[in-house]
Structure 1
Amino acid sequence: MEKVVLAYSGGLDTSYCVKYLMHEKKLKVHTILVNTGGFSEKELEDIKERAYELGSSSHINKTILNEFYEKAIKYLIYGNVLKNNTYPLSVSAERIFQAIEVINYAKKVGAKYIAHGSTGAGNDQIRFDVIFQTLAPDIEIITPIRDLKLSRQDEVAYLEKHGVHYSWEKAQYSINKGIWGTSVGGKETLTSHSALPGTAYPSQLEKQTEETITLNFDKGELVGLNGSKDTPIKNIQKLEEIASAFAIGRDTHVGDTIIGIKGRVGFEAAAPMVIIKAHHLLEKHVLTKWQQYWKEQLANWYGMLLHEGNYLDPVMRNIEVFMEDAQKSVTGDVTVKLKPYHFTLEGVASDHDMMKSDFGQYGEMNNSWTSDEAKGFIKIYGNANKIYHNVNENQL
């Protein structure tokens, strides 16, 4: 029998795919779950057990937190990336690296086919297929859910026909969790006017009393909390636990999907939102005007390309070099006050803070130029406007 590697989550769609690939395609199924921080050890073991019960010839759970941080999250922080000024790419960034691991596993077991459970109406089908086609052009892609356009009832009936009688009661809300945030989809996000109820979010308000924390950055990376040093991954996880208790980081993202339709999804991302905003504030103090300007332009492109599955384009490596180089002086502490449902940035302390220069204080006193020099600068600075309005009268 030929082998197929299935990107597996343990849900209804990928469970259907296991049976379909076995019985209809006559393939030997190998399943892989690529964990980006959304599963507990108990959940991973339960998913592995279910995969074997369904008939998987082999199953692996591959946790890629280190790779995901080093190749994606780090640059999303460097770039202060928020899609449409809102969404920290909580789920979209994961898919690229999950697809890469699926390819690696397919090559390892010598699979002729790769399969996934994406539908034909979303972004994930594109993210997966682009990576598969680029890194493994000789491996054929099979997508049963997309190709057959099955209803949920059709999938349940097929599984029951083949002796699978799990409870497939559909949750009211679709939750996709990872270290960089959690997406929340439901009937409200299918409309343009309805808001998700508070109960739809996995994290509920637990703390009412304000709490002040300090984020410690070294060259753009979160190396500590309140002076206690640890790895960036551990710090993200610790901050998520602290900030999510305040129900911070909830919002709704509206954007253009890769296939051209508008999409809407809720999300909660307590740690990512606090980190990005704190990092951005520190950059305002330590980077020059033009460093900030060009990094913002490039980071916007970086986020869009990553969101749309173009991670393998070499321009991404070029942008990463720029963003990493721009972090040389992004070292210091940022104080943040956590409150129910929101947070405020209190201030920064950094040896590279350019507000501490000897040249002067904004709106107060200049120490390095005379009043006559200021007047002369302003006179020359306005020349372009003066020339235009001298030549083109009555343009206002």
Structure 2
Amino acid sequence: MAQGVKRVVLAFSGGLDTSVILKWLQQTYGCEVVTFTADLGQGEELEPARAKAQMMGVKPEHIFIDDLREEFVRDYVFPMMRANALYEGTYLLGTSIARPLIAKRQIEIAKMVGADAVSHGATGKGNDQVRFELGYYALEPDVKVIAPWREWDLTSRTKLIEFAEAHQIPVSKDKRGEAPFSTDANLLHTSSEGKVLEDPWDEVPDYVYSRTNHPEEGPDTPEYITIDFERGDGVALNGEGMSPATLLAKLNDLGKTHGIGRLDLVENRFVGMKSRGMYETPGGTIYHIAHRGIEQLTLDRGAAHLKDELAPRYAELIYNGLWFSPEREMLQAAIDHSQSHVTGTVRLKLYKGNAWVVGRKSPYSLYSEKVVTFEDDAGAYDQKDAEGFIKLNALRLRLLGRRQG
């Protein structure tokens, strides 16, 4: 039996893996286990997790099920969306952005209950082990981390089920045998990986999709919506004010109806391997497009282009688990400063898997119809000024051309 741990806080879903981990921790470390289940809007009933933890000997006062939906969207998703962050140009980081909040709450609970360790169910092949543990160490540098997948010999789903049955741990019928694929879900997205998705040449089967209707089967009539922004954050849908989590949930419903937000991606994991995943981010995709739409009116060219240069770096930091790093905080400060006038309304058209910006307006718009018009601008812009501008920019090119000639 391992020594040195008296009480551990486990990130607990109530599924097969974390249920086995709970029992394994009790046996291997002889410690008291405190369970923490986060409601991030994954759409699952969470009370069964409480019942299972109690059945496995966890004290009622040591079972934490916390509704973190508003905090998740307000303090994590929206700041990320201000940056227009896309990992490798396409992924809206739905799994990545949830991990720092879970880690933060785990450390808070550990301090509350006097735990000397924390534990998670991430495997040794994935990114999540890195994200969880970088979060833990940033917030509690001396905490002990227990990662069962890096310690035990339960190396397959068959062995997990055998362990569960040997210790009278209930196993859902759909978990008997190999699952066709694994999923992770929260209010921002659902991801699916493994098994039927492992060959990147094979098209994703229809049954894998859970958050979006098939785009081809969407309504035959486009739907128009508006999103209002204040200082870079969404505050209203179709003129109705909403909290961050409510707004994202409503956009999820719209995205599902119209089949918006599907992504089939082969990505580069932080741990070094490539993996193929299928992501569904219906509301987040609409929101991202709308946010870029309002920035088109309100951001100066220099600020907008600098943001586009910073966004890949910012996205990589989140993907790699460095939410609590000083460099992410520095980038966030610059990004948030850029949003001071990102206020206004965007109109979008939703239709069969796509969302388009079809209108935008803002009291802080930098767009001048008087200047840009092809008609008489009444002296707002002197076209003769362009000659000197062009010649100054061409000077070095002309000198180079003369030398080469």
Q: Same fold (TM over 0.5)?
A: yes
Cross-structure match for 1:98: 102
Q: Determine if the alignment matches structure 1 residue 164 to structure 2 residue 169.
A: yes
Match 2:325 to one of 313, 319, 344: 313
Cross-structure match for 1:177: 185
- State the TM-score, normalizing by the size of structure 1: 0.93
Q: Compared with structure 1, are the counterparts of its residues 242 and 390 closer, same or farther at alpha carbon in structure 2 (3 Å cutoff)?
A: same
Asked whether the 8 Å contact 2:180–2:196 carries over to 1, the reply is no
Q: How does 1:191-270 map to 2 (within 5 A)?
A: 191-203=199-211, 204-205=213-214, 207-208=218-219, 209-270=221-282
Asked whether the 8 Å contact 2:10–2:36 carries over to 1, the reply is yes
Q: Determine if the alignment matches structure 1 residue 340 to structure 2 residue 344.
A: no
CA distance in 2, matches of 1:117, 1:156: 15
* AA at the equivalent of 1:235: L
Q: Determine if the alignment matches structure 1 residue 136 to structure 2 residue 140.
A: yes
CA distance in 2, matches of 1:155, 1:233: 35
Which runs of no fewer than 5 residues in structure 1 stay unpaired? Answer: none
Cross-structure match for 2:396: 384
Q: CA deviation at 1:66?
A: 2.9
Cross-structure match for 2:39: 35
Q: CA deviation at 1:91?
A: 0.6
Q: What is the number of residues matched between the two proteins?
A: 390
* AA at the equivalent of 1:164: I
SS at 1:111 equivalent: coil
* AA at the equivalent of 1:184: S
Cross-structure match for 1:56: 58
Q: Which moved more, 1:89-98 or 1:236-245?
A: 236-245
Q: CA deviation at 1:207?
A: 4.1
CA distance in 2, matches of 1:345, 1:61: 39
CA distance in 1, matches of 2:369, 2:37: 52
Q: Which moved more, 1:161-170 or 1:298-307?
A: 161-170
CA distance in 2, matches of 1:29, 1:251: 38
Cross-structure match for 2:361: 349
Q: How does 1:364-375 map to 2 (within 5 A)?
A: 367-375=379-387
Cross-structure match for 2:295: 283
Q: CA deviation at 1:357?
A: 4.9
CA distance in 2, matches of 1:253, 1:192: 9
Q: How does 1:295-310 map to 2 (within 5 A)?
A: 295-310=307-322
Cross-structure match for 1:153: 158
Asked whether the 8 Å contact 2:16–2:171 carries over to 1, the reply is no
CA distance in 2, matches of 1:288, 1:212: 28
Asked whether the 8 Å contact 1:118–1:146 carries over to 2, the reply is no
Cross-structure match for 2:198: 190
CA distance in 2, matches of 1:364, 1:304: 45
Cross-structure match for 2:47: 45
Q: CA deviation at 1:87?
A: 0.8
Q: Determine if the alignment matches structure 1 residue 112 to structure 2 residue 124.
A: no
Match 1:13 to one of 14, 17, 33: 17
Q: CA deviation at 1:299?
A: 2.3
Asked whether the 8 Å contact 2:74–2:244 carries over to 1, the reply is no
Deviations 1:359-387 (A, max 9, x none): 332x5555334343322322222112111
Percent identity of paired positions between Structure 1 and Structure 2: 29
Q: CA deviation at 1:7?
A: 0.9
SS at 1:24 equivalent: helix
Cross-structure match for 1:87: 91
Deviations 1:18-77 (A, max 9, x none): 11111222111111012222144xx11111111111222321112222332233212221
Deviations 1:333-379 (A, max 9, x none): 11111112222221212222322353332x55553343433223222
Q: CA deviation at 1:266?
A: 0.5
